[in-house]
Structure 1
Amino acid sequence: MKTTAINIKHISGNNIVSPIGFKAAGMHCGIKHKKNDLAILVSEVPANVAGVFTTNVIQAAPLLVTKDVVQQTGKMQAIIVNSGNANACTGKQGMKDAYLMQEKTAEKLGIAPELVGVASTGVIGEQMRMEPIVKGIQELAPAAKLESSILFSQAILTTDTVTKNTAYSLTIDGKTITIAGTAKGSGMIEPNMATMLGFITTDANIESIHLQGALKTVTDLTFNSITVDGDTSTNDMVVVMANGMAGNDSLTPAHPDWEAFVAALQNVSQDLAKMIAKDGEGATKLIEVEVKGAVSDIEARKIAKTVVGSPLVKTAVFGTDANWGRIIAAVGYSGATIDPNTITIEIGTTKVVENSEPVHFSEDDIILYLKQPEVKIVVDLHQGNGNGLAWGCDLTYDYVQINATYRT
């Protein structure tokens, strides 16, 4: 269940520049044939920053540059993003190109290079064509407008079919705080992290060390609880910029509204995570798995993610096959602590297994339910108080087609 607080409100017409002091832009510079492929996000003042990054040992040049900004500088005022080329596995030239993107962006904005992050997504192993990127950086015109935020969210996409945006507001110290997010992600989704770029902005006043702690907490519950295909990418990151322009007292775990801020950040992250899972390459359905009664929350999330990531479960959902045997098998090989005799499983609201034994149910009712765009599976282990959620999508013929022809 999504974490909420009384004064947290979802903002309609949400966009990455909803918080005070942020501007964005996106354009087509020529990396792709036609679609937007270059974007920039800028804060009026240097923002405190936090970030989480792919666990893949092979990490792309732009990710290394941005990780250094987050971990060494602790502040970020802008991030430049391109799609169409991941600038991954590109050797020394790739690092030079990533630093050139950082340098040219800093020159355009008149700020220090160490305040600029870099993110890239697209094909791995191809050298960047820097001439259109350098030219495009000069042409980008960041603005605090909805149209500009839409162009930004479009320019970061690869095989995504839709843009992914959300925003929430809450009141802290009598000030309205806004947290907004934009993400991309469709394939190679198996965090910690996945082929996913996430950008979150907030006008809250919070130091980097506390922002990092909040981000790590919510990432484990959201971005690290989705899976599409089990592949972990080389480029993935989530970056949060907090510029403090709302004017609240500095947020720390001791602040009376700390939990509300973390809850709002979790709402943003969960919205984006579910959008990514739902937009999995070729997907037709969002699958949510809830695990209850585990020995711990960590174990529950581990089982939930194993079930939602099972190719056999995913194909069963795609084919509207009420094959609960695939679900219980995934629970069994999850590596978590379970009692094989106390498992209850529901598909939607229909119980199909109770205490690890089959229950009579209407096959027709389950088939009708599995045709819906969102499918929920509940597993109750009856072993403890641990609860966890994970999200994924069905596995379709189109997934194979998209990935068989990705470079062509």
Structure 2
Amino acid sequence: MSARDGRAETPGASWTEECSLHEMGGHGASGHDVVPHGGGVRGGSPASAAPNAPALAAPALTAPAPKTSERAPALEGTGTGGDAPGAASAELDWDGAVELIEAADEVCLACHIAPDGDALGSMLALAQALHALGKRCLASFGEPFAVPAILRFLPGQEFLVEPARMPAAPALMISLDAAGQARLGSLAAAAGRAGALIVVDHHASNVGFGGVRLVDPDAAATAVLVEELIRRLGVPLDGDIAQGLYAGLASDTGSFKYPCTTPEVHDLAGRLLTAGVRPEAVSRELWDRAPFGYLQVLAGALSRARLERDAAGGLGLVWTTIARADREARDVPYDQLEGVIDQLRRTDEAEVAVVLKENDRGEWYVSTRAKGVVDVGRACVELGGGGHRTAAAFTMGGEPACIIDRLRAALREPCPTDGRTEE
């Protein structure tokens, strides 16, 4: 059922994508260490706490015949930072997805590697809803299999299992918040062998994989689509399901301050609050915590920042670097660096902000942000990356100065326009 991700890799660069809590939502994941999953918030190990141990592979489900995709009412803007509305057409086969899920005894869920608030929150919310329907449910993500500490508060982590414990050829698999099959990491092969693959995603850069697609680039977050799927499955929202959905929605709207924050987004947030979500608790976990070492690394990054007023078509570029040695000196793990760019992007004189972060492999992860005029997503795609119009990234080896030279050149290329503007 599923199509292989045919995206070619760019030599010297690897495709990555950022569109959510990591790299986008305020302080991001810089509050705590990433911790190996040990049974989530309800204790125990994945093996002992999971309500449904992996079952023997069931006979493959037969996907329903393709239906004409239903077009849901579009939200203005999209994802993190808000892509231009209508950047790509929605593919919403709700009937096909519901039919597959209702016929399944076991459902395997997978989100993208290094999950953020939208990916993990959406997946755990859906896992709990499927369990309420009496389905056996397994949820996972590719290595490194470690839940960011700031997301440990999310309910439903008892459904998480290590990727090696997922069936090699699941009868039904649902991919969440991944724009391409490769983003599933070590679970990409299982997705390719699945009897049926449902793709739930909101990225404009989605490459078109999966047999049944719930993909809407106009949705503010994957959580928006998951909430609709849960509603169509007839599962009422409870506090735990709502908590995951709210974390995803808040993450990908930048705590409701990016252009994708529409009246419909606030309506959904209101329903989630009615179900029992405490917004102040979620906000504190996602954005309002940091160890002292992070503040010292942030101070160093800001002291190294360079402003290039003539770059990005004369609109200005501000950039800085964080070497592995910088964070190791302060005992700050790599995953705690995402909030740095949200301080840098405040620069009035720069349309584009960039942070180059050296990972544990010696590669540079290049986070980019724009304020609405420059399409950094297009530039990052040119360099082997991906993301949204105003929030994107790529990974590349080499010296930071050379990487910035390549990005600067990509930002000089004219951007196609269709007359739309972003506020």
Give the structure-1-normalised TM-score: 0.29
Structure with greater proportional strand content: 1
Q: Which has the larger radius of gyration?
A: 1
Q: Which has the higher contact order (CA 8 A, sep 6+)?
A: 2
